[in-house]
Amino acid sequence: MLEKVEELMVKHIESLKDSKSLELFGKVPSGKRLRAKLILKIASSSDEAIKLASIVELIHAASLLHDDVIDDALTRRGVASINSTFGNKTAIMLGDILYSKGFSELTSLPQDVAYSISSAVTQLSIGELLDVELSSTFNEDLDAYFDMIYKKTASLIEASAFSAALLAKKDAKRYGIYGKNLGLAFQIIDDILDITQSQEVLGKPALNDFKEGKTTLPYLYMYNDLNDKEKEQLRSYFKKELSEEESMWIKKKMAQTNAINRSIEYAKKLGFEALEMIKEENSPELEKIIKEMIVREF
């Protein structure tokens, strides 16, 4: 079914009759299609569900194009990013093309679905802005972090699950909460992997988030347990190119404060809450999405 989604995405872009857009779109890496899989698993493979999945993936791709410009990212999923190969201007405009095409296709779906998805994009963009703002100084506010990752990552996954349930005439509210928790857990795990995985596995430098000024959940947990002198030391590394020794110090303090494990536990807790939401739906596939995410090597 995912193949049909991929085909439809290409068809959407072909319908624009602009060879440059089509060529550039061909160079956008596909990714895991988490949102499409989620939609198809909730709403099965009706034409409307496939259409919704294709739209959400266009919108998600657009958000990543802009995200990579915001982060000056050189790579995306291990290959050169569009902004690094074709420049920021092209990445911004290709993002706008994918966003607006997604929105114009949305107009053929039910109004509540179109509203849910487009509102989530506003939240996602506000989340990006918050992310930039939070990383401009050393953020130590846990609530601000959760608010930001909800908007930046979870809102579109929440809207995807909610909208798929609307199409399938299932309990949209429960599926929305499932999607929200899935999205939050997904982002937290992504933030953990930035610390625990090697550069080779990540396709980007390790501890990259912190270098960009992002104090993700493990840093926040750790920071709160440091003494004043150690807090000062961590703050002195803010947005710096870290030496091997400095990186090691951070990892040592992560271990001493148990910050990684506590972050994993929190992500698992969110995952279990997601499972709880759909336990009466008897959907092993949706359960599998959560389990595969939280039962893994960190």
Cβ closest to a second copy, residue 19 vs residue 282: 19
Coil vs helix vs strand at 242: coil
Total residue length of the chain:
298
Smallest separation (angstroms) from a second copy to the CB of 58: 11
Of 22 and 193, nearer to a second copy (C-beta) is 22
CA distance 234 to 250: 8
Q: Identify the bridge partners of residue 79 per DSSP, sorted by sequence position.
A: 76
The answer to whether the CB of 93 falls within 8 A of the CB of 62 is no
The residue behind tokens 């972090």 is 145
Taking the C-alpha atoms of residue 32 and residue 188, their distance in angstroms, rounded to an integer, is: 17
Which residue, 11 or 269, has its beta carbon nearer to a second copy?
Answer: 11
Smallest separation (angstroms) from a second copy to the CB of 250: 26
Cβ burial, residue 108 (10 Å; 0-12/13-18/19+)? exposed
78 DSSP assignment: T
| CB of 251 vs a second copy, minimal distance in Å | 29
Q: Which of 31, 221, 166, 17 is nearest to 101 (CA)?
A: 17
Q: Is 80 helix (H, G, I), strand (E, B) or coil?
A: strand
In 3D, which of 185, 186, 187, 159 has the Cα closest to residue 173?
Answer: 159
- Rounded to the nearest whole angstrom, what is the least distance from the CB of residue 276 to a second copy in the complex? 28
Least Å from the CB of residue 188 to a second copy? 22
Q: Element (H or E) spanning 136, and its range?
A: none
Cβ-based nearer residue to a second copy, 69 or 172:
69
Which lies closer to a second copy via its Cβ, residue 208 or residue 261? 208
Least distance to a second copy from the beta carbon of 105, Å? 9
Contact footprint for a second copy (CB under 8 A): 16, 18, 20-21, 63, 66, 69-70, 88-90, 92-94, 96-97, 99-101, 103-104, 106-108, 111, 114-115, 118-119, 121-122, 124-126, 128-130, 132-133
Least distance CB 81 / a second copy (angstroms): 15
Q: Looking at beta carbons only, is 61 or 250 nearer to a second copy?
A: 61
Give the nearer residue to a second copy in terms of CB position, either 143 or 292: 143
The answer to whether residues 286 and 178 touch, using CB atoms and an 8 Å cutoff, is: yes
